Amino acid sequence: MTEVPHGYESAPWQLLWRGLAVDQLQRTESTFALSNGHIGMRGTLEEAEPRGLPGTYLNGFYEEHPLPYAEAGYGYPEAGQTVVNVTDGKIIRLLVEDEPLDMRYGHATAHHRVLDFRSGTLRRETEWTSPTGRRVRVSSERLVSFTQRAVAAIRYEVEPLDDDVQLVAQSDLLANEPIEADTGDPRVAAALEAPLQSEYMKAEGYRAVLVHRTKRSGLRVAAAMDHELDTCDGLRTDIAVEEDLARLTVAVDVPKGRKLRLTKFLGYGWSAQRSIPALRAQVDAALAGALQTGWEGLLAEQREFLDHFWSTADVEIDGDPELQQALRFALFHVLQAGARGESRAIPGKGLTGPGYDGHAFWDSDSFVLQTLTYTLPDTARDALRWRHSTLDKAKARAHQLGLRGAAFPWRSINGDECSAYWPAGTAAFHVNADIADAVARYLAATHDRDFERQHGTELLVETARLWMSLGHHDPHGGFRIDGVTGPDEYSAVVDNNVYTNLMAQRNLQEAADSCERHPDLAAMLDVGTEEISAWREAARKMLVPYDELLEVHPQSERFTEHARWDFANTSSSDYPLLLHFPYFDLYRKQVVKQADLVLAMHLRGDAFSLEQKQRNFVYYEALTVRDSSLSAATQAVLAAECGHLDLAYDYLGEAALIDLHDLHHNVRNGLHMASLAGAWLALVAGFGGMRDHGGNLTFRPRLPSAVDRIAFRMCFLGSQLAVEIDQDKAGYRIVHGDPLDIRHYDTPVTVAEDTVTLPVPAFAPLPRPTQPPGREPARRKGGGHAPGPIWPGA
Amino acid sequence: MTEVPHGYESAPWQLLWRGLAVDQLQRTESTFALSNGHIGMRGTLEEAEPRGLPGTYLNGFYEEHPLPYAEAGYGYPEAGQTVVNVTDGKIIRLLVEDEPLDMRYGHATAHHRVLDFRSGTLRRETEWTSPTGRRVRVSSERLVSFTQRAVAAIRYEVEPLDDDVQLVAQSDLLANEPIEADTGDPRVAAALEAPLQSEYMKAEGYRAVLVHRTKRSGLRVAAAMDHELDTCDGLRTDIAVEEDLARLTVAVDVPKGRKLRLTKFLGYGWSAQRSIPALRAQVDAALAGALQTGWEGLLAEQREFLDHFWSTADVEIDGDPELQQALRFALFHVLQAGARGESRAIPGKGLTGPGYDGHAFWDSDSFVLQTLTYTLPDTARDALRWRHSTLDKAKARAHQLGLRGAAFPWRSINGDECSAYWPAGTAAFHVNADIADAVARYLAATHDRDFERQHGTELLVETARLWMSLGHHDPHGGFRIDGVTGPDEYSAVVDNNVYTNLMAQRNLQEAADSCERHPDLAAMLDVGTEEISAWREAARKMLVPYDELLEVHPQSERFTEHARWDFANTSSSDYPLLLHFPYFDLYRKQVVKQADLVLAMHLRGDAFSLEQKQRNFVYYEALTVRDSSLSAATQAVLAAECGHLDLAYDYLGEAALIDLHDLHHNVRNGLHMASLAGAWLALVAGFGGMRDHGGNLTFRPRLPSAVDRIAFRMCFLGSQLAVEIDQDKAGYRIVHGDPLDIRHYDTPVTVAEDTVTLPVPAFAPLPRPTQPPGREPARRKGGGHAPGPIWPGA
């Protein structure tokens, strides 16, 4: 067959891939995934094959499996959780005369897919010649509805291009789709091989429903489909159902100039408690709603939802179309991950793939919720409600660990700890401060007192209690937190990690503040004045180590006395280091996987002077290898603050393009939500200099030399704010809502509907910090395509 | 049936247990185990049932199984090794008329077992009445030969006590004996369920042989038996063989006053390389030798071997018969573990049970080899030859870890690392210094230049190289060793562990000395003067942290700033702590599982002043919970040196009685060889004050108030030395060999055949240090039975 060109094409509001490229299918299934935060569907072709990795996910739906240990230990989690590929409703197979449409055979003269950030749909158009020479055009468009969270829909059209052809379409619901397990453990593979047991099936007319239940976790899922058909006369349809398959078959002769058009409506639901009839009723009702709205209605609702989102969240960067596309791609996927999660977690990969087993980590709280707090704050609230809903489990875990308060899991779907390697799991207690920080940020940005009273204060109190039992006052007068792991996963089980201690300090202060705002709540939570005083005292005495000799903050105590990693003798093929060196060696040396002290300087920027930030930034730049996708965005923010604008621009590019350039070689298993959210932060907190310490919204905008103008929207205290920045000035205006008091550099300003324009101070460029050899970010030249992946061999 | 009394009875040269006590069988099978270091046989009853855990082991013979990880990591060992219960030749079943002799049925009027430390045999005598009233006396005696390492033998006699009876004896070789797996991992259990595959079988006359091979590790084992029969006329015998069973059946009518006497000779051999015919020939030859020597001959050789051993190694303690028995029991088992290992490891449990999977650890090098170096030095040499034979594996492991030199495994049978939890495995690099220390000690005590040239220097050099790549010179001028784990398993992955650093210092010095003694060898090992200088420089600059405020050595950097464990709120049922608290909590607090800094003060006593030792000892006593069997002996040694003689006596009792009192509740899986070896050290290095820093043999004897006299033998530089100590004087004489230069306190003395008697200086008693509440050792009152297990509930 003739090769059509392939690769992403530049477009401001779309992701477009032309050509098939079977070997690239799996990664584009991730980037083309649709989701509303409740249902996720990977961007597979309707005809199901060729395929990379099919995947339909429901947020919170998982199967359990035993966690094996060669050497067991007290408190090790016994059960793992893994996101399950549920009943696949995306499949519409097609026979053209008697040839199955399979793009590996025959001849595709045109083929492209488009993810549209404003319509919220995935479109596909293919012109295909069958091996026996029949030509057809296949067009499809699909959506996972932001407005009807249980609903997805697909419009599928086939048009003969030459003669009359017989078309047979088979629209499926397929459960227990065989997929390759990504695990070496035969017990885990067995648990996931065919996780669903049939409980109920029914098919009638154009509608079918399948109900299944997982074998170990006991969760029930219902999937239903209904169809509308629009085609020629002589149509013959048949519907059939068996345990793992429901199928509507449509056969029709279509003359040239006419079409077969099939509209498929899907309804999904799951529950740990509800009965088969209840769940069946739920998906039937979802379908009824979808049919009543109709395809065009669903499209219109989708567009309206997105218009509103972009009016609050859009970013613009002039003269760099690739980055412009990447930034909107990033925001669109962050929205998809969080939009309708509704008291479920936001997994590290959203619902775009099975990576990390579908688990949620601290980076959702620290990165994704930051971006959502300022763009669609209700979604941040809902994700924090999920944390609150798991508080009993977190308290039980703390109790098991001999601690007070709540110890939230390092990785989980249902709130139970699933991390089987405690030095980089349980020991990373900072997740608790990250949750508290997300609560405090949300409260500061919304003044949502209902949330505070129902969820926020309790989250702050129980995490504060954890720190009190984890730390202790030492004889020298400091409050120490020993033997924990900070964000950097190339160090573990250290004393007085600066990030952890500073975040714990904020946690303690915010808990005290919240309790003093709500004495009645405090009383209900058994918080007395003595406990509040103890929190404030621990916060005041919190130990923050400092290396007087080097005049930098050690990431954790003694860090700067450790041997430096031998970067000179580390080749580019040795990265990521964790695949080529043992943990013990990484842990004992000065080498940083991801921003840790540098992240502390962002989130707790109020605890450092600018001079300290500048010295620290240069010191850690030389040690940070960015083997984690969580790093570049934070480095961008601090590079900008410290005056390294061009470097910040490079890091912004890396954060935003992480998945489109597949910089970590694993986008096939899903997108990196925290990095995508971080791209927004890199722009807004980096070049916009946005901070909100203590609830005071401040901007210190500065642009890199290659960028003439950026603009972004955000919301704060219910108002939509538009910010526009060029090389020498910045303009602020309220798009919607009340005026806002902000600071531009050190100047207080009240912003209302009229644009306030203020000068950007001039600054002297600083020497560019150095990174470990071979780990420099790709240089971003404004206005064109990036020079490609940062790592050789990518 | 009538209960006969049961329990160990006091006897100076025997372990004696009267009565059956089915629930105690498994632990007494360990204490009554016979071994020569090559073959091990647990003390099961001949008739095979009732039983605790049958076990016949061949040193070095193991099966492999995959090591599971829920989260894998670079450099994690993939295969585990587990000692295998090989073909069981101990079984002789008996039918009395048609009733099988099973002591759970019928009626035993007398039953006892005796392990005899001078004859080196296990004797058993039973008087049994069958359910139908037939009375017989069964006597057996068995041995695993110290002089013919492939041979074991059993003499089995049955005597009717009333009438004529028909006796049928069945003497078996039984492979793949069903035993319960002690693992939660189904794959490991599967690997061990029936590990042996039949390869060859043959039976003729009274002789049979079975050859098997393990399924994964591919090791071949041959077991053969032959018999001599002495009984009445009318004997009928039959021999039969199948894949996993060979059986000689003997049927005879025996009148009162006559006996059935069956002598069973067993030959064992295994190999990773040799063929079936070769291995069969080997065990046939072993049997030929055994038959030629005969039962009485084997007994005589055994006695002669042991007479020689006791003349070099015996210890006496007056007025404490229980401890006297325990000390000889301990020495006897240490001898059994090491006697004929011959370039195989000495496992942590010897060959007495499947505990620790049959692995060898550092404690063999640090405890068992210390005792053997001064009592049977050739066995220490042979165990170090095993380490040398695995040098290629240790070098490959170091290379895999990015290090130079050799990294010996934390736990292993064949030399490959089997530890699946790296913070308490791979990170415990001190094992390498412990091996070097054992080499240096052996060389100092023997001047064995052949061993040094063939094995010793290379072991010292490759371990020294490891330290050079593990440590680094820091900017403040110290040589740091970061991120390693010391002996105390309640701390891990710490910086500058004092024990590790001091032992590494000695390792570097000894390597330099040995290379300078043998410049030709140094050249062969590519050691130049520059490398030697670098070793000496690192040793000189070795960082030894010290807490100036508390005036004690922190076990590792910052240890003394950590929170103290909350002992007051830890109940006695919370011990051992590792079963009730997570590692993360143990690691981050001041709580010590086992002597660490205190062990450094023994093995590197030359690096501390007496005042430092005294302060440190008191500090660590208050933190040390002795959840490890490796602790009490070392605490005894340092308690004695620091002047706490009565406390030392208590700890000596704990070390010596650890298995007889089952203080750790796991003697059912085998004995604690290091603690048993430590009992000798507690006496000799504790009350005898024996040290040999720099090859200078020194004694600083002092007795606790309750003990009037101790005496011990040891060998040094080929001479047998006898030491006799009472409250105010000590006598030294050479029993055999050249005169020796020693020191008594600070007085140099040359000891020859005539006893030199020197005064023991008076000393003022010190206040008794305190231990964590509830963790005080049982008080040992001289002259009686100990008050029982130290832990409640034991």
CB A229 within 8 A of CB A235: yes
Interface test with A, best of B584, B586, B587, B593 (most A CBs within 10 A): B584
**How far apart are alpha carbons B792 and B794 in whole angstroms?**
6
**How far apart are alpha carbons B677 and B668 in whole angstroms?**
19
- CA-based radius of gyration for chain B: 27
- How much is the pLDDT for A189? 65
Widest distance between CA atoms in chain A: 90
**How far apart are alpha carbons A104 and B158 in whole angstroms?**
82
**How far apart are alpha carbons B675 and B690 in whole angstroms?**
18
- How much is the pLDDT for A163? 87
CB B727 within 8 A of CB B704: no
- How much is the pLDDT for A657? 96
Pick the CATH number of A8-309 from 1.10.1740.10, 1.10.3720.10, 1.10.260.40, 2.70.98.40: 2.70.98.40
- How much is the pLDDT for B342? 82
Q: What is the DSSP string of A134-187?
A: -EEEEEEEEEE-SSSTTEEEEEEEEEESSS-EEEEEEEEEE-S-------S-HH
**What are the two backbone dihedrals, phi and then psi, of residue A612, each rounded to the nearest 5 degrees?**
-60, -45
3-state secondary structure of B270: strand
- How much is the pLDDT for A293? 98
Nearest neighbour of B426 by CB, restricted to A427, A579, A582? A582
What is the C-alpha end-to-end distance of chain A, expressed in Å?
Answer: 27
- CA-based radius of gyration for chain A: 27
- How much is the pLDDT for B792? 34
Contact list in A for residue B472 (CB cut-off 8 A) is 563
Q: Which residue has the higher pLDDT, B624 or B188?
A: B624
* Residue of B47, B489, B531, B557 marked catalytic: B489
In the CATH scheme, what architecture does the domain B314-696 have? Answer: Alpha/alpha barrel (1.50)
Q: What percent of chain B has pLDDT over 90?
A: 91
Contact list in B for residue A557 (CB cut-off 8 A) is 558
pLDDT greater than 60 at residue B393: yes
- How much is the pLDDT for B783? 43
Single-letter code of the amino acid located at B431: V
Contacts of B159 (CB under 8 A, 6+ apart): B136, B137, B138, B139, B254, B258, B259, B260
Residue B475: pLDDT band (50, 70, 90) is confident
What are the distances in angstroms from CA A57 to CA A123, A664, B730?
Answer: 20, 23, 81
Q: How far is B551 from chain A (nearest CA, A)?
A: 14
Q: What is the DSSP string of A647-663?
A: HHHHHHHHHHHTTTTTT
CATH superfamily of B697-761: Maltose phosphorylase, domain 3 (2.60.420.10)
DSSP 8-state assignment for residue A706 = T
Query: What is the chain A residue with the closest CA to B576?
Result: A74
Cis ω for the linkage preceding A195 (within 30 of 0):
no
- How much is the pLDDT for A794? 31
Contact list in A for residue B427 (CB cut-off 8 A) is 584
Contact across the interface for A402 and B583, Cβ inside 8 Å: no
CB B121 within 8 A of CB B96: no
3-state secondary structure of B162: coil
- How much is the pLDDT for A464? 98
Contacts of A212 (CB under 8 A, 6+ apart): A86, A87, A175, A196, A197, A198, A199, A220, A221, A244
DSSP 8-state assignment for residue B365 = I
Domain B35-304 fold: Beta-galactosidase; Chain A, domain 5 (2.70.98)
3-state secondary structure of B116: strand
Residue B765: pLDDT band (50, 70, 90) is confident
Nearest neighbour of B480 by CB, restricted to A402, A403, A561? A561
Contact list in A for residue B422 (CB cut-off 8 A) is 582-584
Contact across the interface for B421 and A71, Cβ inside 8 Å: yes
**How far apart are alpha carbons A247 and B50 in whole angstroms?**
63
DSSP 8-state assignment for residue B448 = -
Domain positions in chain A are 8-309, 312-759
**How far apart are alpha carbons A493 and B494 in whole angstroms?**
9
Query: What is the chain B residue with the closest CA to A581?
Result: B74
DSSP 8-state assignment for residue A104 = T
Mean pLDDT of chain A: 94
**How far apart are alpha carbons B758 and B35 in whole angstroms?**
40
Contact across the interface for B187 and A184, Cβ inside 8 Å: no
Query: Which range has the worst mean pLDDT, A93-97, A424-428, B170-174, B338-342?
Result: B338-342
Query: What is the chain A residue with the closest CA to B578?
Result: A74
Nearest neighbour of A483 by CB, restricted to B186, B557, B588? B588
> In the annotation, is A63 catalytic?
no
Among B659, B611, B658, B664, smallest CA distance to B636 is for B658
Task: Report the helix count and the strand count for chain A, using DSSP H and E.
Answer: 20, 32
Residue B785: pLDDT band (50, 70, 90) is very low
Contact across the interface for B584 and A482, Cβ inside 8 Å: no
pLDDT in tens, B535-570: 999 999 999 999 999 999 999 999 999 999 999 999
* Residue of A489, A621, A641, A654 marked catalytic: A489
Among A138, A154, A370, smallest CA distance to A267 is for A154
Sign of the torsion angle spanned by Cα atoms B173, B179, B182, B188: positive
**How far apart are alpha carbons B637 and B613 in whole angstroms?**
12
Contact across the interface for A74 and B558, Cβ inside 8 Å: no
Strands across the sheet containing B729-736: B315-317, B709-716, B719-726, B729-736, B756-759
Nearest neighbour of A74 by CB, restricted to B474, B476, B580? B580
Nearest neighbour of B558 by CB, restricted to A80, A472, A495? A495
Contacts of B530 (CB under 8 A, 6+ apart): none
3-state secondary structure of A268: strand
Question: Residue A472 forms beta bridges with which residues?
Answer: A480
Q: What percent of chain B has pLDDT over 70?
A: 96
Sign of the torsion angle spanned by Cα atoms B356, B362, B363, B364: positive
* Helices B645-657/B632-642 angle, 10° precision: 160
CB B779 within 8 A of CB B650: yes
What are the distances in angstroms from CA A275 to CA A62, A285, A573, B37?
Answer: 18, 15, 53, 64
pLDDT in tens, B240-269: 999 999 999 999 999 999 999 999 999 999
**How far apart are alpha carbons A270 and A56 in whole angstroms?**
13
Contact list in A for residue B423 (CB cut-off 8 A) is 423, 493, 584
Contact across the interface for A492 and B492, Cβ inside 8 Å: no
In the CATH scheme, what architecture does the domain A312-759 have? Answer: Alpha/alpha barrel (1.50)
Contact across the interface for B72 and A184, Cβ inside 8 Å: yes
Contact across the interface for A480 and B587, Cβ inside 8 Å: no
Among B10, B125, B5, B3, smallest CA distance to B660 is for B10
Helix runs in B658-785, H state only: 673-681
Q: How far is A541 from chain B (nearest CA, A)?
A: 15
**How far apart are alpha carbons B645 and B768 in whole angstroms?**
9
pLDDT greater than 90 at residue B182: no
- How much is the pLDDT for A1? 36
Contact across the interface for A69 and B73, Cβ inside 8 Å: no
Low-confidence ranges of chain A (pLDDT < 50): 1-5, 783-794
Contact across the interface for A563 and B482, Cβ inside 8 Å: yes
Q: Where are the beta strands (DSSP E) in A231-338?
A: 236-242, 245-254, 260-271, 315-317
Contact list in B for residue A484 (CB cut-off 8 A) is 584, 588
DSSP 8-state assignment for residue B784 = S
This model of the complex carries an ipTM of 0.87
* Helices A377-389/A457-470 angle, 10° precision: 60
pLDDT in tens, B609-651: 999 999 999 999 999 999 999 999 999 999 999 999 999 999 9
- How much is the pLDDT for B186? 61
Query: What is the chain B residue with the closest CA to A398?
Result: B582
Q: Which residue has the tokens 């992403």?
A: A8
